[in-house]
Amino acid sequence: MVIGQIITKQIAKVALTKIAQDPSIIGKILDSFGQMPNIPTSTMGGKFFWTDIENVNGWRLQKNNVFGNCRIIDPNNVRRAWGGEDAMLKAFNKL
């Protein structure tokens, strides 16, 4: 049991170090998962950490400048979906 805990801590430390060195790894990991479960959440519109990729009739597809994950925001700045870039592009195009 103790050896397993030590190995788990070492793996976590390596993983966190890699993420700290390149935060965009988060977006790459999310690309493999696709669309993530979502709870509609009010946002501030993404003025600082987000870049609009698409904007159609007030609906926006945004990409996070630090982590590389994406989200879809409705005209009222409510997050309607989030996940990897490919999955969000497909979901946005369905709108």
Reported as a single tens digit per residue, the pLDDT across 12-45 is 787 778 777 877 777 777 777 778 888 899 998 8
pLDDT at 5 exceeding the cut of 60: yes
6 pLDDT exceeds 90?
Answer: no
Cβ count within 10 A of residue 79 = 17
Give the pLDDT band of residue 1 (cuts 50, 70, 90): low
The residue ranking higher by pLDDT, 86 or 7, is: 86
pLDDT digit string (tens) for 40-93? 999 988 788 999 999 999 999 999 998 899 999 999 999 999 999 999 999 999
Cβ pair 38, 82 in contact under 8 A: yes
Burial (0-12, 13-18, 19+ Cβ within 10 Å), 19: middle
- Per-residue confidence at 95, pLDDT binned at 50, 70, 90? confident
H helix intervals, 1-95:
2-21, 25-33, 85-94
Domain segments of the chain as ranges: 23-94
